[in-house]
Amino acid sequence: MIYLLFFVASLFLTYFIRKYALKKSLLATVNERSSHTTPTPHGGGIAIALTWFVGLIYFFICKVLEPSLFYALMCGSVLSLVSYMDDLYELSPRVRLLVQAMVSIAGLYALGGLSCIDFGFWVLENPFITNTLAFLGIMWFINLYNFLDGIDGYAGSEAIFLAISGWLLFGGDHFFVLIASVAGFLVWNWHKAKIFMGDVGSTLLGYTVAIFSIYYQNNGVSLFVWIILFGLFWFDATLTLIRRFKNREKLSQAHRKHAYQRLVQSGFAHDRVVIFAMGINLILVILGYSAFTQPSNVIGYFTVAVLVLYGAMKIVDQRKKFE
């Protein structure tokens, strides 16, 4: 019942945020990066953030959420607040990166750092290396989730997929809170979207996935299980960045070269792209489950996941060439 309340709260919060955005003309304008053709209200991720943090506090008070995970996830509230300010006023990249770095360090500290990285056949335990990689990983997850939030229903559907996968593998009430929070927003964001998530939602979701990855590694589950589950987003973002670097493009310049954007350009409707993506995710969750149950072979399953994602990218390349 409590999860239904969270869903309804997110649903109605998104509705009122949309009305406010329309009244104040807080619209996402069409630019070089856009995959939409008309100005649309943005900032709907506030509904996700508010419902998510209230849910976390509720379960922490009920003593069903481990303190280190609670405090690490709650650090994301600062990120959400500043990201919403960025949605409204377009803060400078330096301010955004500084806040992201501070939140990443705070979240990592709340978790007690990253104790090790389990490769299955070898465990890296050097604290300087593991925590440096953890910090960079959190920063990358925050930003890549923002990069991949560009079409109707895509970022929200990925969050729900990850939350369902997390619950199936590890259990935990926090995953249901995340599902309910995002689902309420997704009702308004499904094609054709009546409101967009904005940075306030996408950066929070990227941060949350990173925190889950580190927390469960500290509890004996290889980091690579979450990396497999999150493969659709990080592979697209990373490969696109590498390709643009090889093309000697200005990396800070807006573009529409991610795989999901090129599928839209090739003629796929937004919802069809999301369905295609979720089909790939079904393969990834099987590989993630296999890596979870057979930790000694985690790198093998990670390798298979990369091959699957590379194959999917080649399909996209055939429909719309990367230029």
Residue pLDDT, tens place only, 79-97: 999 999 999 888 999 999 9
| Average pLDDT of span 87-110 | 95
Q: What is the mean pLDDT of residues 231-238?
A: 97
pTM for this entry? 0.95
CA–CA dist 315, 323 (Å, integer): 15
Residue 144 resides in a domain: yes
Measuring CA to CA, how many Å separate 125 from each of 17, 88, 162, 296? 45, 42, 27, 17
Instruction: Taking the CA atoms of 286, 288, 293 and 297 in sequence, report the sign of the dihedral they define.
Output: positive
Count the neighbouring beta carbons within 10 Å of the beta carbon of residue 113.
15
33 domain residue, yes or no:
no
Q: How confident is the model at residue 287 (pLDDT cuts 50, 70, 90)?
A: very high
Mean pLDDT of the region 12-24: 93
Mean pLDDT, the chain, whole residue set: 94
Q: Residue 90 domain-assigned?
A: yes
Amino acid 24: pLDDT: 81
Confidence at 23, pLDDT banded by 50, 70, 90: confident
Question: What's the pLDDT score for residue 259?
Answer: 95
Q: Quick one: average pLDDT of 108-133?
A: 95
Helix (H, G, I), strand (E, B) or coil at 111: coil
Residue 127, number of CB atoms within 10 A of its CB: 12
- In a domain, residue 299? The reply is yes
pLDDT at residue number 26: 77
What single letter denotes the amino acid at residue 61? I
In a domain, residue 290? The reply is yes
Total domain count, the chain: 1
Rounded to 10°, the helix 93-110/76-89 angle is: 170
In a domain, 165, yes or no: yes
Calculate mean pLDDT across residues 143-168.
96
pLDDT in tens, 28-79: 766 656 666 678 898 999 999 999 999 999 999 999 999 999 999 999 999 9
Average pLDDT over residues 112-131: 94
pLDDT for 318: 95
Q: How many CA atoms lie within 13 A of 250 on its CB side?
A: 3
Residue 205 lies in a domain: yes
Domain range holding 252?
2-26+40-319
Considering the domain boundaries, does residue 31 fall inside one? no
Token pair of 23 as six digits: 């009244």
Residue type, position 32, single letter: E
